[in-house]
Amino acid sequence: MTTKHALAAVLSATIAFSLAACAGAASSAVPSPSASPVGGPVTTEADAVARVIAAEPRFAGIEPGGAGLIGQSSWYEVVPASGVGAFLVTIHVGWGDCPAGCIDQHTWLYAVGPDGSVTLQSEGGPAVPMEAWPAPDTSGVVTQGLHIAAVAGPTCPVEKMPPDPACAPKPVPNVTVLIADEQGQPQGMVVLDGTGQQSVSLEPGTYTLTAQGASGFMNGPEPQRVVVDADQVTEVALTYDTGIR
């Protein structure tokens, strides 16, 4: 049996116990997750939360749960998965009169292995409205240029209706994107963060984006022509092919 398989077996055996601990574990000492690129082994609770955010960028900006924070609508909790060096991360997103405790709530439970693997263990609750997702940090926000996001898909061999959240496209982190102007002259490059996203300020004009290849994917995106308008941020999606059919 390989080390990876042994970890999976032990994690499965301890998940029931850890789920019970998750509900009552305090998380006040958990630092906020870093927005820096994600890589290397997972050794701390902050590492585990950062890996979950890399897997689901809409959690960016979420804060640890706190008993003294009245009206907190979104928060996370982290507990160790007993005996296997992994962590269990519970994400809560609530909405509707949250000062009184939130009328609705959606909850996710993730297991994060010491190798950085992220596995969705369970999910429950009504669909999250757009305005209820955590608000990311807007300091230094780009007001004219590009917001680039790299994702990989398909992630499941068969698409389901309604769509299965576990089969959503996954972010591709740390990708280098080259930027050229309409004449093909280099204008710089940008490295996407650990959530597969990055924003860059540019003057109005037409540009071509060329994403570099990423390990583990059959095909990278074709060069993409984009237009930046004055005082606007253009959304750009770069799609990598996983080869899953």
Give the helix/strand (H/E) hosting 225. strand 224-228
- Taking the CA of residue 19 as centre, how many other CA atoms within 13 Å lie in the half-sphere pointing to its CB? 14
pLDDT at 7 over 60: no
pLDDT at 8 over 60: no
**Mean pLDDT value of segment 24-35:** 35
Structural domains for the chain: 3-132 (no CATH), 145-241 (2.60.40.1120)
Average pLDDT, the chain: 78
Q: Which amino acid is at 13?
A: A
Q: Does 16 or 58 have the greater pLDDT score?
A: 58
The whole-number pLDDT of residue 21 equals 38
Among left, alpha and beta (phi > 0; psi -120 to 50; other), residue 50 is: alpha
Q: CA 155, CA 170: separation in Å to the nearest integer?
A: 7
Q: How confident is the model at residue 17 (pLDDT cuts 50, 70, 90)?
A: very low
Q: What is the pLDDT of residues 127-173, one digit of tens each?
A: 988 888 887 655 567 788 999 999 888 888 877 777 777 788 888 88
**Mean pLDDT value of segment 98-122:** 89
Q: CA 245, CA 155: separation in Å to the nearest integer?
A: 9
Question: How far is the CA of 54 from the CAs of 65, 70, 109, 149, 193, in angstroms?
Answer: 19, 28, 15, 12, 9
